[in-house]
Amino acid sequence: MKRLLIVGAGGHGRSVAEAVLAAGKYELMGFVDDAAPSLQHIWDLPVFGATADLASYRQYADAAIVAIGNNRLREELQQRLYAAGFELATVVHPKAIVSLRAVVGAGCAIMAGAIVGTEAQLGAGVIVNCGAVVDHHCRVEDFGHLGVNAGMAGGSVLGRGAWMQAGSVLGYGVKLEAGAVLAPGKALSGK
């Protein structure tokens, strides 16, 4: 079993940690967070230190995942983990449903109740939060982020680094451009 480090000890980091523990595919070693050294433990797990020293934590873990909601920061930290020699882990909560025909990139977090449908494609560092749906033939580009209960109808596209906030929806075949934010509860439909 590979040893795993979670970068980010906030709410999303702790949720990802629970998914890791529930799935049982990695041995969770601890966290890295810029709140260190004032933050020293999460539950019974250590917070090793701040993100400035990522390479020094390689001794504790083989793989890592960035569990930070900020898309830009998640991308930056994931690149630094690669440079430090970490394998990028993908975490899938055991209560998520992921099609065997979906493609899931490195460093993704697919949370409880999420659904990733047939032939959907998730790029690197994507978050599919609790209850979110990525329907058949959808594409979520690198570092895209679906908030709680966000939904993508068949064939829609979430651009690189774009964020669908809680309860937002993309209609069939619709694309949300790179870096865009869809407000909570809003829908983007075809023309």
- pLDDT at residue number 39: 79
Please write the tens of the pLDDT for every residue from 68-107: 999 999 999 999 999 999 999 999 999 999 999 999 999 9
- pLDDT at residue number 6: 98
Q: Spell out the residues 6+ positions from residue 112 whose beta carbon is closer than 8 angstroms to its own.
A: 19, 93, 95, 96, 130, 131
Q: Dmax over Cα atoms in the chain, in whole Å?
A: 53
Mean per-residue pLDDT of the chain: 96
More confident position, 35 or 172: 172
- pLDDT at residue number 118: 98
Please write the tens of the pLDDT for every residue from 113-135: 999 999 999 999 999 999 999 99
- pLDDT at residue number 191: 57
- pLDDT at residue number 36: 74
Q: Which helix (H) or strand (E) holds 26?
A: strand 26-32
